[in-house]
Amino acid sequence: MIISLVIHGAPGTTQGAQTALTFCRAALAAGHRIYRVFFYEDGVHNANALSVWPQDEQDLNAAWASLVREHELDAVVCVASALKRGVLNADEASRYEKPAASVEPAFDISGLGQWVDACLNSDRVVSFGV
């Protein structure tokens, strides 16, 4: 089955992003196809490559980046949510004259159209961290 995820929660604040990660791994292990993981609102913080976690905690940002790379997942952060929260790629950092790019390069920054596209092309869409 083709499944997409929408993640609303920031890592380390609420449990939703962790629940989504575990769900995503289980779905892949069961042979399902993950069409897209869409990060919305505070969920975009999961794609921040500049976060540094304490050594005795699981680095959720790194865990997402590693899952996305390993399975070549289509991971998209909502551009409107991301810019507001300082999750920028190099192009946007330059365009808005900000000192650094912060998005994990394995993630794409795009619009809500990508979420609609996920709805149209998936059998199921599951929301986490609402």
Partner 1 sequence: MSTLHIVNKSPFRSDALQRCLALVAPGDSILLIEDGVLAASLSTLADSVSGRSVTCYALIDDLAARGVSAADTCIRSVDATGFVNLIVEHRNSLSHG
Partner 2 sequence: MKTLTFLARSAPYGSSKAKALLDMVLSAAVFEQKIQYIFLDDGVYQLLAGQDPSSLAAKNVSAALPALELYGVDQVFLDLASLQARGLSTDQLLIPVTTCNAADISKMLAASDMVFSL
Residues that bind partner 2 (CB under 8 A): 6, 8, 40-41, 80, 111-113, 115-117, 119-120, 124-125, 127, 130
Q: How far apart, in whole angstroms, are the C-alpha atoms of residue 130 and residue 114?
A: 19
Query: Which is closer to partner 2, CB of 64 or CB of 115?
Result: 115
23 interface partner picked from partner 2, partner 1, none, CB below 5 to 8 A per type = partner 1
Cα torsion 110, 116, 120, 122: sign = positive
CB of 98 to partner 1, least distance (A): 31
> Residue 75 forms beta bridges with which residues?
37
The region, left, alpha or beta by phi > 0 then psi within -120 to 50, assigned to residue 97 is left
Query: Which is closer to partner 1, CB of 6 or CB of 82?
Result: 6
